[in-house]
Homo-oligomer: A and B are copies of this chain.
Amino acid sequence: MTIHNTDILIIGAGPAGMVAAMTAVQHNPTKNITVIRSNEKSQVPCGIPYVFGATLGSVEKNAMICGGNPITDKIEKLIDSVEKVDIETKTVYSQNYEIHFDKLIFATGSIPFVHKNFTDALRLENVFTIDKDYSKVEKLKNYLADKQKVIVIGTGFIGVELATELASDNKDVTIIGGGHILAGSFDKDMAIKAEEIMIEKGVKLALGQHANHIVEKNNLAYGIELCDKTVIEADVIIFATGYEPNTKLAAEAGLKLARYNGIWVDEFMRTKNKDIFAVGDCSGRRDFITRDPSKVMLASTSAAEARVAGSSLYSIKRLKGFNGTIAIFSTMIGEKAFASAGVTQTRAKDEKIDYVSGYFEGMNRHPATIPDASKLSVKLIAMRESGRIIGGQVVGSKEAGEIINIIGLAIESELTLYSLVSMQVATQPLLTSAPTTYPIIMAAQIALSSK
């Protein structure tokens, strides 16, 4: 057992852990900073679906690079599994180290969630989850190499991206889900556009379905029986049914957990103990609009939390804490980008929010004769009375990935339709929509006219 002393200790080296460590270096240049992680290599979490098809093509190409610059070089790295955290004595015990810290940041991430009816099936060789662990991704990749029929259970972002990528790689893929795909982020009108592309790419959609149970044969999964008793055969079954906070260590250490089992934190990512922080998927999240506990997991949100924690370790220096997740997502399905921020109309109804919405479909270039011009649709959702922006959805070519970040900033900055309707934007024939029909402005105008 090696004794290791450090000022700041971070457990975990995913996006949250690494950004927390880097921010801590910048804000505390005189402190020792140590990151402890269980494996040498890690994966870019959102890149995982793309190692299974032609886009990245290998697990190696999705490796997360966490070194080689002046900031990361100031961080001490230990590769070991943490076994216990003693908050009282400020000590972390791993297999080979006894680490004394002054400030501790939990960045232990999340682990795949599988409904309890199916956890038993995970023992079968051909049943998988999408674990972010490097070696597990590699194992699934190798297993898939000579298999043809794949079932993906779950229609969230990972499930949809994985199914589409595998289909592009000529696998026979069926995706199973209870309703329209990406239902947390898109209303039906937008989701249907994505489903059409998936079908075009050869993905079989079994929507409005639930898996009853896995049919076994010779110690392998033979297929899945759906709630309508149909059996779909498969060589490989992959659960992409979400993730849950990895908080066993924190709970055993006596830290308070929030609903959905994230570690309870305040606006500055501090647990009930002001020397202990939690960031990323292991932290308890709230929703930006309602303040309700939230299950949303996003690397970008994790990074934002990590920046707040990294700059607040020894004292709160900045007024802005982390005011809840706005749930801001983007993805590519086929050649189209789909992006969403804040609440959908469906959720606004469920939450009994009195809202207005505006939908505009235009072109992403101007005039429409520009060679790469294509359709671009924007939906905005706002409070009826105040006009405050609470959600948006964008479908179009790749710039949709940044257009959603304009809407995200509007939500986070509590802007209203009144601001957006006369916002100043750069427009250029080869890059954007026309100045006369810029889609965020048009959607805002349409939403205002329905107030």
* A449: B residues at CB distance < 8 A: 26
Q: Are B330 and A428 in contact (CB under 8 A)?
A: yes
Q: Are B424 and A326 in contact (CB under 8 A)?
A: yes
Contacts of A314-368 to chain B: CB distance below 8 A: 318-320, 322, 325-326, 328-332, 337, 339-341, 366-367
In the complex, whether A226 has a CB less than 8 A from a CB of chain B is no
Q: Are B436 and A19 in contact (CB under 8 A)?
A: yes
CA distance A229 to B415 in the complex (A): 56
In the complex, whether A426 has a CB less than 8 A from a CB of chain B is yes
- Assembly of this chain: how many copies? 2
* A445: B residues at CB distance < 8 A: 23, 26, 307
* A441: B residues at CB distance < 8 A: 303, 307
Distance to closest chain B CB from A319 (angstroms): 7
CA distance A342 to B443 in the complex (A): 25
Residue of B nearest to A45 (CB): B435
Q: Are A44 and B366 in contact (CB under 8 A)?
A: yes
In the complex, whether A32 has a CB less than 8 A from a CB of chain B is no
* A144: B residues at CB distance < 8 A: none
Given A64-B367, A307-B445, A409-B406, check contact A426 B438 (CB 8 Å): no
Q: Are A318 and B424 in contact (CB under 8 A)?
A: no
Please give the number of chain A residues whose Cβ is less than 8 angstroms from any Cβ of chain B in the complex.
Answer: 82
Distance to closest chain B CB from A149 (angstroms): 26
Q: Are B307 and A44 in contact (CB under 8 A)?
A: no
* A402: B residues at CB distance < 8 A: 399, 402-403, 405-406, 431-432
In the complex, whether A142 has a CB less than 8 A from a CB of chain B is no
In the complex, whether A265 has a CB less than 8 A from a CB of chain B is no
* A415: B residues at CB distance < 8 A: 409, 413
Distance to closest chain B CB from A431 (angstroms): 3
Q: Are B322 and A44 in contact (CB under 8 A)?
A: no
Quick check: which of A55-63, A128-136, A245-253 contacts chain B, the rest being far away? A55-63
Q: Which of B319, B325, B370, B400 interacts with A55 by CB under 8 Å? A: B370
Q: Which of B65, B304, B319, B419 interacts with A423 by CB under 8 Å? A: B304
* A436: B residues at CB distance < 8 A: 15, 18-19, 22, 299, 303
Given A408-B423, A419-B413, check contact A431 B300 (CB 8 Å): no
Q: Are A44 and B300 in contact (CB under 8 A)?
A: no
Residue of B nearest to A332 (CB): B430
CA distance A329 to B430 in the complex (A): 12
CA distance A318 to B300 in the complex (A): 35
Mark A residues whose CB is within 8 Å of B.
Answer: 15, 18-19, 22-23, 26, 44, 46-47, 50, 55-56, 61-65, 298-304, 307-308, 318-320, 322, 325-326, 328-332, 337, 339-341, 366-367, 369-371, 398-406, 408-410, 412-413, 415, 418-419, 421-432, 434-436, 438, 441, 445, 449
10 contacts between A and B (CB under 8 A): A50-B429, A56-B369, A300-B427, A303-B435, A307-B441, A328-B424, A330-B426, A403-B405, A405-B425, A409-B413
